[in-house]
A and B are shown apart, each in its own frame.
Chain A
Amino acid sequence: MPTLKINGIEVEVEKGMTVLEAARFLGIPIPTLCHEDALQPYGACRLCLVEVSNGRKTTLQASCCLPADDGLVVFTHSARVERARKLLLEMYVATCPSSKRIQDMASAMGLRECRYEAKHETCIQCGLCVRMCEQQMMAGAIGFSGRGVNRSVTRPFDMTSELCRQCGACLFICPVCESRCQGPQAESTLCNGCLNISTVCFQSYDNAMCFLEPCHACEIGGPFRADVGVKPRSKDLTHIVGK
């Protein structure tokens, strides 16, 4: 049974576990986009990276693909890790600003600005749908084609595959398909729509209310968190809020 140290806590894990599993077993939340317990690790999104020390120097490694070996010293939320994750998320937000899961994660991580131009892609190439189709549905109807900037998820020869049973598992697992809040700032790259609103979302926007659950923006910087120090810019939003 290998013993490793995660954030200073000695933990004994089963052989064959990954560092991500070990950390989650301890209750340490590590954000992921391309990981799914039922599928083989892929290591595409890199959000799960952790700082691993082997004596002298430390390296950033994707914890979902890193076996929990004996004597590892892991930091899951060091400043370096946080910085790297934030940068990654910023790029993900710029790639797919319409994804709820990415926006949620960005809010939860305290991302306040996105310095990149929004690309409005429909795919982050996490490979979840491809792996789902192949490993769980045993179909293999979709796959990647091309490489580099031309890589995309397709069916062979762009024809409906006879292997596809239209089970919808690929849609179910896709982290991008779910649309984000369609509230007041649906067009902005980074969804912090609720951040500057002085009243709770649903009082002002009955049907267009925020679907973030829980609304991280509200939790972190909303009007009820005065300690965060974000002042509601009510005068800028009078045209939306009314009065």
Chain B
Amino acid sequence: MPQVEMDKVEPLLEQYEDQRLNLIPILQDVQETYRYLPELVLRRISKKLRVPLTEVYQVATFYRCFSLVPRGKHVIQVCLGTACHVRGAPRVLDRILRDLKLPHAGTTEDLQFTVETVRCIGCCGLAPVARVDNTNTHPHLTQAKVGGLLKKYQEKAEAPKAAKPDEASHAKA
């Protein structure tokens, strides 16, 4: 088990009342802070909220926005819904995976990227589409555009204290 900085949890837990209904908001905050849900943290939450660990685990494994293994700095969600599929999303996904040297959807070894497939993100007019970090939607993707898209976030990851990514900025081909 990797070392977990537990000191980040306590201030986070203090923002909420110890009530069952706060479980999901807390888990969301933890997911944002650690980029995954560490086991020790889940145990702490279970104790603090007096919710059985099984229930915490049940919620943590139910929703796809939670992960029990570390996720990358940037989460790339490639839409494989019907419209995107028809317009070539599988090829885009293949290209992303090849560029990141991933055998299948998952997290790169340097924890920079996590590639996920999603069913539909509700903008079929922009197909094929991928969304990065839940905010930046990249429309009309082609294999040729993938390199630029990845480079943009790779550079951002390397630059120290990079500015916040622009909302809905489009990758240049």
Binding site for B on A (CB under 8 A): 130, 134, 140-147, 154-157, 161, 163
Contact = CB atoms under 8 A, between A and B. Distances in A.
Nearest to A140: B52
A163 B39 contact: no
Nearest to A155: B54
B61 A146 contact: yes
Interface string B50-72: 00111111100110000000000
A40 to B, nearest CB: 15
22 contacts: A130-B54, A134-B52, A134-B54, A140-B53, A140-B55, A141-B54, A142-B54, A143-B54, A143-B55, A143-B58, A144-B58, A145-B58, A145-B61, A146-B61, A146-B62, A147-B61, A147-B62, A155-B54, A156-B42, A156-B53, A156-B54, A156-B57
Given A140-B52, A147-B62, 7 more contacts: A134-B54, A143-B54, A145-B57, A145-B61, A156-B54, A157-B39, A163-B53
A134 B55 CA distance: 10
B52 A143 contact: yes
Interface of B: 39, 42, 52-58, 61-62
B40 to A, nearest CB: 11
A154 B55 CA distance: 11
Given A145-B61, A146-B62, A147-B62, A140 B39 contact: no
- Which residue among A134, A141, A145, A155 has the maximum number of chain B CB atoms within 10 Å of its CB? A145
A22 B125 CA distance: 53
Contacts of B57: 143, 145, 154, 156-157
B24 to A, nearest CB: 15
Contacts of A134: 52, 54
Nearest to A138: B52
A209 to B, nearest CB: 40
A161 B42 CA distance: 14
Contact of A163 (B42, B52, B56, B61): B52
A134 B61 CA distance: 19
A156 B52 CA distance: 10
B46 to A, nearest CB: 9
Contacts of B55: 140, 143
A140 to B, nearest CB: 3
A154 B42 CA distance: 16
A232 B61 CA distance: 52
A234 B75 CA distance: 66
Contacts of A157: 39, 57
A163 B57 CA distance: 14
Nearest to B43: A156
- Which residue among A143, A145, A147, A156 has the maximum number of chain B CB atoms within 10 Å of its CB? A156
A143 B61 CA distance: 11
A114 B57 CA distance: 36
Contacts of B62: 145-147
Contacts of B54: 130, 134, 140-143, 155-156, 161
Contacts of B52: 134, 140, 143, 163
A136 to B, nearest CB: 14
B105 to A, nearest CB: 15
B133 to A, nearest CB: 24
Nearest to B57: A156
Nearest to A144: B58
B60 to A, nearest CB: 8
A161 B58 contact: no
Contacts of B42: 156
- Which residue among A130, A143, A144, A154 has the maximum number of chain B CB atoms within 10 Å of its CB? A143
A143 B54 CA distance: 5
A13 to B, nearest CB: 32
Contacts of A140: 52-55
A151 to B, nearest CB: 9
